[in-house]
Amino acid sequence: MSEAAHAAPFEPSNSLALPLTQTTTVTAEDSNPYQIALRQLENVAGLLHMDEGVHQILRFPKRELTVNFPVNREHGGTQMFTGYRVQHNTSRGPAKGGLRFHPDTNLDEVRALAMWMTWKCAIVNIPFGGAKGGVICDPHALTVGELEDLTRRYATEISLVIGPDSDIPAPDVGTNGQVMAWLMDTYSMHAGHTVPAVVTGKPVSIGGSEGRIDATGLGVVLTTQQAFQRQGKSLAGAKIAVQGFGNVGGATARLFGQRGAVVVGVSDVAGGIHNPHGLDIDAVVAHVRRTGSVVGFPGSDPVSNAEILEMPCDVLVPAALQHQITPENAGRIQARMVVEGANGPTTPDADLILRDRGILLLPDILANAGGVTVSYFEWVQDIQSFFWSAAQVNSRLAKIMKSAFDNVWETSQTHAVDLRTAAYMVGVSRVAEATLTRGIYP
Ligand code: NAD
């Protein structure tokens, strides 16, 4: 990029000021996820000697849409809801990212999650940029009919910016294949024809991919396996603790168990369970189906979510929400390895504490990239109307995850940096290169 191309519009006079939001607050270690995402980018921009103009471009989401919309409640009355869709960067392809239904979601959280998606897609080298969506709501407090109405109205409101060539949502916290089906159906009704490729994570009966439900968990397990192999160790007998027992945490626990690891603790929003000799995860899943929570599983001891994070184990997988491992508890983590199933569970200051304590951390933008990788496969299959077997999906996923892991691991060795920094170096440099190569329009 020439000096003239970026000098005026990107004058880095106040490079850390964030003119985008009224909600941003700064504390000792800022817990605002967007500030954390910016700090992570900042760290790597220096290491990569990144063009300042490109750095400024990458700090900002390309496009943000806030929507306020009504839903009729079944007990009577109308309730207003607020939702977001943020596209961080589309230099490498259409924007891609999940949709979160959660009472605490907010614009800065969605911005951070969109930025992390950009790096993640680049690390696994799939032709997508990063996006994320959210609706402030508690999906468990809505009836099925209300949830469908909310989804369809939100889909209509954001249909301005989504589409198979522009931005493709997928499930995240509080959403699932059924929500994706409603989203796809709504978009298709407006288009006048069926558009399966507008979302991924759909049920297989309407153009979803084999293997998508387990893909994020499988990616977590494959990445852990690669790290064990690099250390000359095997997963057999390794003790695993998983925080969060939803799409990611549930599959992760089950797939670790299938590979001979011993899952000693799992948790969900209601609390956790512990058995040092191992939990039968299929039986825990059946218990959750019956009762709605892992809590009270026969033959286990109750533990809190804080205790799950700190229990003795070989591998800790935070697979719930961000901001779980902080400077407050990082000194008490007993795991030898932390594998981030969730997005943003570890803060930058906690990263440093874990690193100094010799705990290996496999970062979210690498470890949980299996989900978006199979989402890419789903999108490709939808566009071609030609579907693959589960075996094809899983072997292609394994190939991509291995290549991404090797790339990040080697970068970490070459530059003597931790794996998060290495992952950022790989992902951010690819996005920076695409941004520079495309140039600035006009
Ligand atoms: P989910 O809604 O299916 O499950 C979330 C789980 O976390 C539930 O078990 C819930 O009870 C638990 N939980 C919620 N709040 C909690 C709290 N305060 N403490 C402990 N547990 C809590 O969501 P998911 O799709 O499994 O996503 C989990 C994480 O993984 C998120 O950070 C998400 O962004 C990330 N992720 C998801 C995917 C995907 O394909 N779904 C892909 C990559 C990353």
* pLDDT (tens place) for every residue of the chain, 442 residues total: 433 333 333 233 333 333 333 343 445 788 999 999 999 999 999 999 999 999 999 999 999 999 999 999 999 999 999 999 999 999 999 999 999 999 999 999 999 999 999 999 999 999 999 999 999 999 999 999 999 999 999 999 999 999 999 999 999 999 999 999 999 999 999 999 999 999 999 999 999 999 999 999 999 999 999 999 999 999 999 999 999 999 999 999 999 999 999 999 999 999 999 999 999 999 999 999 999 999 999 999 999 999 999 999 999 999 999 999 999 999 999 999 999 999 999 999 999 999 999 999 999 999 999 999 999 999 999 999 999 999 999 999 999 999 999 999 999 999 999 999 999 999 999 999 999 999 999 9
- Ligand 1 pocket list (CB less than 6 A): 171-174, 216, 243-249, 267-269, 305, 319-321, 341-343, 368, 371
pTM score of the predicted model: 0.94
Concerning whether 202 is annotated as a catalytic residue, the answer is no
SS3 assignment, position 167 = strand
Beta bridge partners of 342: none
Return the ligand 1 atom nearest residue 174 CA.
Answer: 2
Q: Whose CA is nearest to atom 16 of ligand 1?
A: 269
Q: Whose CA is nearest to atom 23 of ligand 1?
A: 173
Return the ligand 1 atom nearest residue 344 CA.
Answer: 32
Please give the DSSP secondary-structure letter assigned to residue 314: S
CA distance 350 to 408: 21
User: Token match 């220096």: residue?
Assistant: 46
CA distance 394 to 273: 30
CA distance 137 to 57: 31
Please give the DSSP secondary-structure letter assigned to residue 328: T
User: Which residue in 247, 183, 178 sits closest to 213, CA to CA?
Assistant: 247
371 CA → ligand 1 middle, Å? 13
103 CA → ligand 1 middle, Å? 13
What type of residue is 40?
A: Q
Handedness of CA 245, 249, 251, 252 (dihedral sign): negative
Return the ligand 1 atom nearest residue 100 CA.
Answer: 34
CA distance 118 to 96: 8
User: Quick check: 441 and 413 in contact, CB under 8 A?
Assistant: no
CA distance 98 to 110: 10
